[in-house]
Each structure stands twice: as C-alpha cells, then as structure tokens.
Amino acid sequence: MRPAQDNQGSFLGRISIRRNQFVDVNNEQEQEDLELFQRHIADRFTELLSPPPQQQPPSDEANTVAPVAATEQIMSVTWLRKLMDVFLCCEAEFKAILLMGRDPTQISKPPFDRLVPEMLDRSIKALDICTAVVNGIDSVRHYQRLAEIAVSALEQRPLGDGNVRRARRALANLVVALSLEDKENTSGGGGGGGNKTTERSWSFGRRSGGSSASKGGATIGQLKSSSWAVGRNWSAAKQIHAMTGNLNPPRGNEAAGLPQPMFIMSTVMVFVMWVLTAAVPCQERSGLANHLPVPPKHLSWAQSLIGIHEKIGDEWKKKEKKGSAGLMEEMTRMEKLGHSLIEFADAFHYPAEKEASESAAAQVAEMAEICRRMEEELVPLQQQIREVFHRIVRSRAEILEVLEQAGKLSAPVV
C-alpha cells in the first residue's frame, strides 16, 4: 500500500504552465494553445499505442520467465497506470485552457450553455464508473490471491498429491472467476463485478447445503442487490452509452474554437472510462464494444486513440463470445496459465515426473511473477483511479464556480 503521492510527479511535471503567463488571452494565443493541446493529446496516445524501447532494468530476476514487453503491453496493469497519468495530464491542460484567464461570461453563452452542462453530466457518469472500477480491481485482487495460493501449493517440495489438490482447487476457482461474464456474476441481482460470487465460494460451495468440495463457482451464493458496487440497476455499458449520446465533433466555425478541446477532452474521458470498464470486472457491460463511437478518422489527434480502441475492441469482441471477467493483460495470461496448470494437476501422479514438473515450475514462476506485479501495481492503480475521481469532482466544482460568477447559474431556489 503505497501512498498516492508516488505517482503524482509524473504528470504534474508535464502540465503546460505557460498559460499562467498570459492573463490576456487573445485569439491568436488561443489558437496556438488549442493546437498545442491537440498535439499533446496525439503524442500521449501515440506513446501509449507503441511504447518507446524498454528501459526495464536487466536485473529483474523474472526476465527469464516473463517476456519483458508484457509489462508495457496494452492493457497490462502498468499500461493502465500510464493511461491514468495520461488522463490526468490531459485533464489538467484542458482545464487550464477552459478556465484560465478567461472571461466567465464567455463559457456561459451559446453554444456553451449547452456544451458545458453536457460535459459536466458526462463527468458525473464517469465518477460512477470510477467507483465501479475501483470495486472491480478488488475482484482482480481476489484472483491474485487465488493464484498465490496455487503458486504456493505448487512450490512445495516434494510436491504431494495434497498440494496439487489444493492448487487444483484454487486454479479451478480462478479460471471460473476469470471467465465469468457479468451476467453470470450478477445473476440474482448483485455481484459488483464478480468478486462477490467467487469469494462466496472461496474454496467450496458454501451454503449449498452439501459438503461437496472443490468445485468453485459451482454454487453461486445467493446474491443480493446489496452487492452492487454502484447502485441498483446501474450498468457500465449504459453509462458509457449515455456519455457518448450527445458527443459530436464540433462543426463549422465552432470547430476552430473552444468547442474543439471540449470535444477532445470528452472523447478522451469516455475512452479512458471505456478502457477501464473493459479491463477489469465491472457491473453490467454487455455490448460494451458497440458503445464507443470512434472519432472521425481524419482528426490527427485521434489517430493513436483509434488504434488503441481497435485493438481493445477486437479483443473484447473475441472475449465477449466466450465470457471474460476483463481484458487486463495479466488476467488473460493468468487464465491461460491457470488452464495449463490445471492440466498438469489433472495428470499429476506422485511422485512428480521430472519433465512435467519442470515445465510446470516455469509456469508457476510466471504465475508468481504476475502475482508479484499485481501486488505491486493494483493498489496504486486503485489509488490513481480515486485520484481521477477527485480530480473530476474538483474540476466540476471549479467550472460551476466560474459559471456562477457569470451569473448564469444564480441560486436556483429562493
């Protein structure tokens, strides 16, 4: 559990502070700022799409078992953390453009009297997604614990039938949890994204009345609406859909002004929320792949974003058919390793055959490495998402304050 401050330096340093120097924003200056903003967006997402050559320290002991590139791969937990940084940077820069040195009345006039409330509305929906995702990461931490149990059981020497039995049980639970769809996770009206289901059958079908052990997920505990992470009937997919409903690229002379960065920022926000929702278990996401309209291809800032979107979208469609708890790269690998280790376990006879146990040992080591990475990065990721949450809240408040100054949102009552 590291403090959140750890990951703040990375984006704060990158915020363009040059706007501070210009209180008097003339049109030319604004144009320049807008262009710069677009370029920064493009740069940041390009870096996310194809990370620069690895600077991974070679001393990493896991190098031999885990492919180095995996750490930075799209949807890996490290990559997701970078994505959060990118979001925070974009958001800070956007807010500077929107608010700094600007006459408050400017953003209360048409078309902003429509665009700003729409944007604020989107940001509230994003908050709920953050909550759901933070909860979803808890589910991932639950998978991590199952994997850790399997690892520690399979690391026993000599490896006895009892150890394998134990590992087999944890792996079965793990694999079932990883391939559960939201619908199954939440059937019966709850489930906050998967962890509730699987945790309830931590090792066996508790509450099933029978003592039949070791088939995790076989009995999905009676789920209750209380287990929703966000609220009854809340659906991540529907929220994403609602966020994109009125999100259209500005046309005509609006395209040259402030509506442009507003559109960009909203697109980035929806995109980031969409990615998070796809990455980890999340309350109700059927049809998620269809919900994100791709920004027009000719927009230069959007190229890399579209590239990432396509990659993830393809993966999601593939997974959606067979069911998946999330596209986080580590989870995908965990699932693969899980299946393969179950095979090993099923074929296991005491005493272990040398060849089989060596190849299993390599897989166990890889699994251990994934667990280690999750142990290191999941909590910071959660903290970043809560940071995003608070940032959105703060920005919303600041924008409302400016609008209030503009006298357009004067006290609604009395």
Partner 1 sequence: MAEFESKLPLEKNHVFEACHHVVKALRASDNNLDANLRKLLSDLESHLSTFVMVDDTEVEEDAGFSEIKERFKEAEKRILAWEQNQSTILEAGLSEADHFFQALYEVHTVLMGFSVKANQKEKDVYNQATVALDIAMLRLEKELCDVLCQHKQNVNLETLAVSSRGKEVVYNDESFVSLDDEVVVVAEASSHEDDADLVDPLVVPHVKAIANAMFACGYGQAFSGAFISVRREALEEYMFFTLEMERLSCVDVLQMEWEDLNGKMRKWTKVLKIITRIYLPSEKHLCEQILGEFDSVSTSCFVDISKDTVLSLLNFGEAVAMRPSQPEMLERFLSMYEATAEILLDVDNLFPDETGSFLRVAFHELSRKLADCTTATFLKFKDAIASNESTRAFPGGGIHHLTRYVMNYLKLLPEYKDALNSLLENLEVEDSITEITGQDILPSTFSPMARHLRSIVSTLESSLDRKAQLYADVSLKFIFLMNNFHYMVQKVKGSELRHFFGDEWIRKHIARYQRNVTNYERSTWSSVLSLIKDSNDSVDILRQRCRLFGLAFDDVYKNQTRWSVPDPELRDDLHISTSVKVVQSYRGFLGRNAVRIGEKHIRYTCEDIENLLLDLFECLPSPRSLLSSRRR
Q: Which residues bind partner 1 (CB under 8 A)?
A: 1, 3-4, 124-125, 127-128, 131, 134-135, 138, 145, 148-149, 152, 156, 158, 160-163, 165-166, 169, 192, 199-200, 202-204, 206, 211, 213-214, 224-232, 234, 239, 350-351, 383, 386, 389-390, 393, 396-397, 400, 409, 411-414
**In this structure, are residues 105 and 406 in contact, taking their beta carbons and an 8 Å threshold?**
yes
Residue whose CB is less far from partner 1, 231 or 287: 231
User: Which residue lies nearer to partner 1 by CB, 107 or 167?
Assistant: 167
Q: How far is the CB of 37 from partner 1 (least distance, A)?
A: 26
Token pair of 216 as six digits? 């995790």
Nearer to partner 1, 12 or 124 (CB): 124
Give ∠ CA 372-383-2 in degrees, rounded to 5.
55
CB of 378 to partner 1, least distance (A): 13
Beta bridge partners of 213: 204
Min separation Cβ 146 and partner 1, Å: 8
| Shortest Cβ 43–partner 1 spacing (Å) | 32
Q: Is the dihedral of CA 183, 187, 193, 198 positive or negative?
A: negative
Give yes or no for a contact between 398 and 132, defined as CB atoms under 8 angstroms apart: no
CB of 73 to partner 1, least distance (A): 28
- Count CA within 13 A, CB hemisphere, residue 133: 34
What is the DSSP secondary-structure string of 152-193? HHHT-SS--HHHHHHHHHHHHHHHHHHH--HHHHHTTT--TT
CB of 238 to partner 1, least distance (A): 11
Shorter beta-carbon distance to partner 1: residue 42 or 175? 175
- What residues contact 255, with CB distance under 8 A and at least 6 apart? 249
Q: Are 272 and 87 in contact (CB under 8 A)?
A: yes
Whole-number minimum distance, CB 112 to partner 1, in Å? 18
Nearest distance, CB of residue 148 and partner 1, angstroms: 7
Closest CA to 268 of 235, 288, 243: 243
Q: Which is nearer to partner 1, 183 or 224 (CB)?
A: 224
For partner 1, the closer CB: 310 or 376: 376
Reduced to 3 states, what is the DSSP secondary structure of residue 217? coil
Question: CB of 219 within 8 A of CB of 184?
Answer: no
Q: What proportions of the chain, in percent to the nearest 5, are helix, strand and coil?
A: 70, 0, 30
- CB of residue 358 to partner 1, shortest distance in Å: 13
**Residue nearer to partner 1 on the CB measure, 232 or 297:** 232
d(CA 121, CA 338): 41
Residue pointed to by tokens 């026993």: 156
> Is 41 or 272 the residue whose CB approaches partner 1 more closely?
272
Give residue 3's Cα distance to chain centre. Answer: 19
Closer to partner 1 by Cβ: residue 38 or 152: 152
